[in-house]
Amino acid sequence: MIRSTKDFWTGLIYIGLGVSAIVIARDYAMGTAVKMGPAYFPSILGGLLVLIGLISVIRSFVVSGTPIGAFGFKGLSLVIGSTLLFGAIVRGTGVLVALPLLVLVSAYGSTRFRWAPTIVMAFGLTLFCALVFIEGLGIPLPLLGSWFGG
Amino acid sequence: MELLSHLAIGWHTAATWANLFYCFVGVFLGTAIGVLPGLGPTATIAMLLPVTFVLPPESALIMLAGIYYGSQYGGSTTSILVNLPGEAASVVTTIDGYQMARQGRAGAALAASAVGSFFAGTVATLLIAAFAPPLAEVALEFGPADFFSLMVLGLVASIVLAQGSLLHAIGMVVLGLLFGLIGTDVNSGALRFTFGFFELADGIGFVTVAMGMFGLGEIVRNLQDENDRSVTASKITGLWPTKEDWRRMIPAILRGTVIGSALGLLPGSGSILGSFGAYSIEKKVSKHRAEFGKGAIEGVAAPESANNAGAQTSFIPMLTLGIPSNPVMALMIGAMIIHGIQPGPQVVTSQPALFWGVVVSMWIGNLMLLILNLPLIGMWVRVITIPYQFLYPGILVFCAIGVFSLKNATFDVYLMALFGVVGYVFSKLGCEPAPMLLAFILGPLMEEYLRRAMLLSRGDPMVFIRRPISATLLAMSVLAMLSVLIPTFSKTREEAFKE
């Protein structure tokens, strides 16, 4: 019976990542303690991580802990989704389209979302970024991208 | 006096109009983000780092340093007026600060925090000026084994200071070290853990990780308990403390400064430990013990002095050893590397204008904070009441543009989003991101020093115990680890975090 879900899942993640590190590192040269190859340090770390993960999983059956709180899926998906969207379209559409979309989509994640102030904010932030970052600091992003012939 | 001539060099750099301006921008922004709950110095400095590429290195470091100690200053305002810590290091200030505000003594509390911070900042600046150069000379004697052990101590300290499970914090450190190894191995040229992405050949930028975990991850977390954030600030009347207040706060400020300066030096610490330590000591030695928790001015003056002192003395290991003691210092090191300055003990002698300029600017910045912020308090109160839904889309925009501009690659935008998820999931599981970020930065350095040390010792791991400096550092690490496992101390650790 799992008594601490936090310990259990953290442990599983550590074990999974540790094992992957060791397995992937098998493609690299191990070397010796005197002349360490690229696999040496990652393998030690992977082993340590597996060990810590195992202790954590074992502990999850012995010691009870606080349960994992609910995931904020709405906020998570909108904040991460809007960032990915920005990355995907910014070269194609340019910042004049990609930035307002980033603001609108992410702002929708708030329980207090209202259209009017968000649109004003999207406009203001886009103007500011276009002036400061694109014109001022010369970051190589188009104002209007290739999809609009920019 | 050598010290005076050094300070003169620094004055020459720091007191130019341009650098005064950047110092002002730094402390002003720092105060603003310190005042705002939910936006911390790590995310802000990561966001602004790309902007500083166009500045000369002194100006960039002066501004970034200003953001850090400015945020310690601003954090107290929110703690006192709305009972929310604006900054992690101001958590204890909420206890007595907010009580004072409720009794109509917010003005006195703000003044105590301001005066304390200024005094502590001045002392800490002098400490850096006096002790950094000799320490840097000692550090020149460090061999690879000593550096390795020093990093172990730093990581152990960050584990000890992390909130939540000790075991998970150790795991986060190991995981951070592994993430740090992604990219090309400098010794063999082999590509490690790149999964076929050529974008990963240079490794993952620490700014990308910092923005993802501290910027995006934090936003998602804040959005989830958004409803707790309704904010109404207390009214402020009478900024000037009474004679009785002065009599009580001066010794508290002195004690806070000493404790904060000392604890700030510890790798892995920075300002947070200092404010907790100063508060609990003040509670023990004060004559007005009964008033603690009900609005004792010492309970504001001591921790606020301590966190400002600690924020500044935490620059000492960074400037003299080139080793970051907390994520903010890691970003400062990143800024130096970007400007072509290799951090390490040689910085003091090879870059005197930069080193002393930054030191002197800290004192100037503290003076600006004192002069500007008490009159501007009305404005900061309005900043506190900015609703979060108008804040985070802006943070996201700056993160997205900032991370893109590092290498002009949308790949980094995706990576940042990925680390946002990683940061959020781990925080849900009760694992703090700070130790992981520190380990992430130290990962490649640690491997390099481990390799060199083992090569020099012909594969004999005893070298770490045989060299006196290394042995001392490792012994300190073991002691720090043991101290958490000993029941009495671990109880105080839990209590400190609960408060």
CB contact under 8 A, A133 and B405: yes
The one-letter code for the residue type at B219 is I
Q: What is the pLDDT of residue B319?
A: 86
A72 and B216 within 8 Å at the Cβ level: the answer is no
Read off the pLDDT of residues B260-300 as tens digits, 9 standing for 90 and up.
998 888 766 667 778 888 888 888 888 888 888 888 999 99
The token pair at A102 is 């980033």
Assigned token pair, B42? 């790590």
pLDDT at residue B91 greater than cutoff 90:
no
pLDDT of B498 > 60? The answer is: no
Helix, strand, or coil here: B117?
helix
Tell me the C-alpha distance between B56 and B64, whole Å. 12
Structure tokens at B250: 């001066």
Strand bridging mode B183-184 / B191-192: antiparallel
The yes-or-no verdict on residue B187 having pLDDT over 80 is yes
B393 has pLDDT over 90: yes
Closest CA of chain B from A144, distance in Å: 15
Cβ–Cβ gap B429/A46 under 8 Å:
no
CA distance B217 to chain A (A): 8
In the block, residue with structure tokens 């045989």: B466
d(CA B395, nearest CA chain A) in Å = 10
Residue of B nearest to A98 (CA): B397
Per-residue pLDDT, averaged over B454-470, amounts to: 92
When the pLDDT of each residue in chain B is averaged and rounded to a whole number, the result is 87
pLDDT over threshold 50, residue B57: yes
Phi, psi of A96 (to 5 degrees): -65, -20
Residue B206 pLDDT more than 90? Answer: no
- Is A144 within 8 Å of A93 (Cβ atoms)? yes
Rounded-to-integer distance, Cα B419 and Cα B169, Å: 17
Residue B442: CB atoms within 10 A of its CB come to: 25
Helix (H) / strand (E) containing B69: helix B57-82
Neighbours of A15 (CB within 10 A): 18
Coil/strand/helix, residue B192: strand
B221 touches chain A (CB under 8 A): yes
For chain B positions 389-408, those within 8 Å of chain A (CB to CB) are: 389-390, 392-394, 396-397, 399-401, 404-405, 408
ipTM associated with this complex: 0.95
CA distance A127 to chain B (A): 12
Contacts of B244 (CB under 8 A, 6+ apart): none
Q: Tell me whether residues B54 and A42 touch, CB distance under 8 A.
A: no
Res B95 pLDDT > 80: yes
Q: What is the pLDDT along chain A (150 residues), one digit of tens a residue?
A: 788 899 999 999 999 999 999 999 999 999 999 989 999 999 999 999 999 999 999 999 998 888 888 888 999 999 999 999 999 999 999 999 999 999 999 999 988 889 999 999 999 999 999 998 888 888 888 998 888 876
**Residues 6 or more apart whose Cβ sits within 8 Å of residue B330:** B206, B210, B324, B437, B438, B441
Using CA coordinates, name the residue in chain A closest to B389: A110
Query: What amino acid occupies position B179?
Result: F
**Contact between A6 and B174 using a beta-carbon 8 Å cutoff:** no
B15-27 pLDDT, tens per residue?
Answer: 999 999 999 999 9
pLDDT given for residue B499 in this prediction? 45
Phi-psi region of B83 (alpha: psi -120 to 50; beta: other; left: phi over 0): left
pLDDT at A68: 87
pLDDT tier at B172, thresholds 50, 70, 90: very high
Give chain B's radius of gyration (CA, Å).
Answer: 22
Give the model's confidence band at B489: pLDDT under 50 very low, under 70 low, under 90 confident, else very high.
low
pTM for the model:
0.88
Residue with tokens 């001591």: B302
The two three-digit tokens of residue A95, written as one number: 């910042």
DSSP output for A21-71: HHHHHTTS--B-SSSB-TTHHHHHHHHHHHHHHHHHHHHHHHS--PPPPPP
pLDDT at B403 over 70: yes
Q: pLDDT by residue (tens digit) across B112-138? A: 999 999 999 999 999 999 888 888 888
